């Protein structure tokens, strides 16, 4: 079989279009819609400085006179505020775009942290076994017996109080990422450990051991690539969880400061006006959060089913 060399990009595209993953993707309208929604929101967040009508952090552009303007289809509206404005005259749409930037950013960063932490500890526990495995997995089980949000809340509180007062606002976002990241590693570790236990007894790993490949290299080059499927699924679902956790913490007032509001902060701010009739200040950020999380969750669910041959 000496097929003529086709140019690589074309071949890669062919492979993608032929793959079962693409097939199952293109056959499910829900997933296509969810991907589109998630992509639009991601793009909106990324491009917020370019597309937002207003910079909500630029105090000079805000005017208290614009406060409490209702959305564009209601009486007393103002065309420059499509989704209305809040108590300080900030455009709600712009605030959502900027807010989702922080929400999504914190989400991705904490997922990355949890992934690296969980995957390394899972690999180590599964491959080394014995006492190290017992220690790592017992720790994981203890952490698992508390609700994630409680762990994040606790870590967030402890880390904050360890910081000097003037740095608290400055480091609020990194602290939040650390707290959410650490609260979420367990799932990765458990899954990766399970896969590692299966893979390490497979004969290709034995063959590598036989020629004296270093255990760390075996873990990285042989086992790690074979655990990536389930990890990808967990990461997608975890992204939704992380975004919600961030929003919850910010809603409770221990997350990002009001000067740099995330979606959760926006919901909290708007919450005060919910009963005085200015519902749009809280409902729109809330809806944005719900739609984002739903889209990501749908994607994660689909990915789990598509990558699991048993469910096919």
- In the complex, which residues of this chain contact other proteins (CB under 8 A)? 1-2, 23, 202-204, 206-213, 222, 225-226
**Is the separation of the CB atoms in 89 and 269 below 8 Å?**
no
Angle of CA points 48, 51, 55, to nearest 5°: 65
Of 52 and 192, which has the nearer Cβ to other proteins?
192
Q: Write down the least CB distance from residue 217 to other proteins, Å.
A: 9
Of 1 and 64, which has the nearer Cβ to other proteins?
1
Helix axes 280-307, 263-271, angle to 10 degrees: 140
Cβ neighbours of residue 166 closer than 8 Å, sequence gap 6 or more = none
Radius of gyration of the chain (CA): 23
Of 65 and 211, which has the nearer Cβ to other proteins?
211
Of 50 and 211, which has the nearer Cβ to other proteins?
211
Q: Write down the least CB distance from residue 25 to other proteins, Å.
A: 13
- Residue of 159, 224, 217 whose CA lies nearest to 195: 224
Joined tokens for residue 213: 């490949």
Q: Write down the least CB distance from residue 1 to other proteins, Å.
A: 6
Of 154 and 220, which has the nearer Cβ to other proteins?
220
Of 8 and 164, which has the nearer Cβ to other proteins?
8
Q: Write down the least CB distance from residue 112 to other proteins, Å.
A: 22
Instruction: Tell me the C-alpha distance between 309 and 289, whole Å.
Output: 32
Q: Write down the least CB distance from residue 186 to other proteins, Å.
A: 22
Of 157 and 215, which has the nearer Cβ to other proteins?
215
Q: Write down the least CB distance from residue 303 to other proteins, Å.
A: 18
| Class of residue 81 by CB neighbours under 10 A (exposed 0-12, middle 13-18, buried 19+) | buried
- CA distances 275 to 69, 76, 88, 278, 279, Å, are 16, 19, 17, 7, 7
**What per-residue string of b and e applies to 175-194 under the rule 16 or more CB within 10 Å gives b?**
bbbbbbbbbbbbbbbbbbbe
- Residue of 299, 283, 244 whose CA lies nearest to 104: 244
Q: Write down the least CB distance from residue 2 to other proteins, Å.
A: 6
Of 179 and 224, which has the nearer Cβ to other proteins?
224
Q: Write down the least CB distance from residue 195 to other proteins, Å.
A: 13
Of 76 and 130, which has the nearer Cβ to other proteins?
130
Q: Write down the least CB distance from residue 15 to other proteins, Å.
A: 11
What would you measure as the largest C-alpha separation in the chain, in angstroms? 78
- CA distances 72 to 29, 69, 85, 192, 263, Å, are 31, 9, 10, 50, 21
């Amino acid at each position: 079989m000496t097929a003529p060399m086709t140019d690589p990009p074309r071949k890669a595209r062919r492979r993608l279009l032929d793959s079962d993953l693409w097939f199952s993707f293109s056959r499910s309208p829900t997933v296509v819609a969810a991907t589109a929604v998630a992509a639009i929101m991601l793009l909106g967040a990324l491009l917020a400085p370019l597309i937002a009508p207003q910079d909500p952090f630029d105090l000079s552009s805000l005017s208290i006179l614009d406060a409490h303007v209702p959305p564009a289809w209601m009486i007393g509206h103002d065309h420059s505020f499509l989704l209305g404005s809040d108590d300080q005259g900030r455009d709600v749409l712009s605030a959502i775009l900027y807010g989702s930037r922080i929400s999504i950013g914190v989400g991705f960063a904490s997922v990355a942290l949890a992934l690296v932490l969980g995957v390394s500890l899972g690999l180590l526990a599964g491959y080394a076994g014995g006492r190290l495995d017992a220690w790592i997995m017992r720790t994981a089980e203890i952490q698992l017996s508390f609700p994630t949000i409680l762990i994040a809340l606790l870590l967030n509180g402890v880390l904050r109080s360890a910081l000097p007062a003037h740095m608290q606002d400055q480091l609020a976002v990194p602290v939040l990422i650390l707290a959410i990241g650490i609260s979420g590693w367990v799932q990765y570790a458990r899954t990766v450990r399970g896969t590692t236990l299966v893979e390490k007894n497979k004969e290709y790993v034995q063959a590598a051991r036989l020629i004296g490949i270093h255990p760390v290299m075996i873990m990285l080059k042989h086992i790690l690539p074979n655990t990536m499927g389930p990890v990808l699924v967990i990461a997608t679902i975890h992204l939704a969880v992380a975004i919600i956790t961030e929003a919850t913490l910010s809603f409770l007032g221990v997350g990002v400061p009001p000067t740099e509001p995330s979606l959760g902060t926006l919901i909290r701010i708007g919450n005060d006006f919910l009963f005085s009739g200015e519902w749009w200040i809280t409902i729109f950020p809330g809806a944005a959060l719900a739609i984002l999380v739903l889209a990501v969750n749908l994607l994660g669910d689909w990915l789990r089913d598509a990558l699991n041959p048993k469910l096919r």
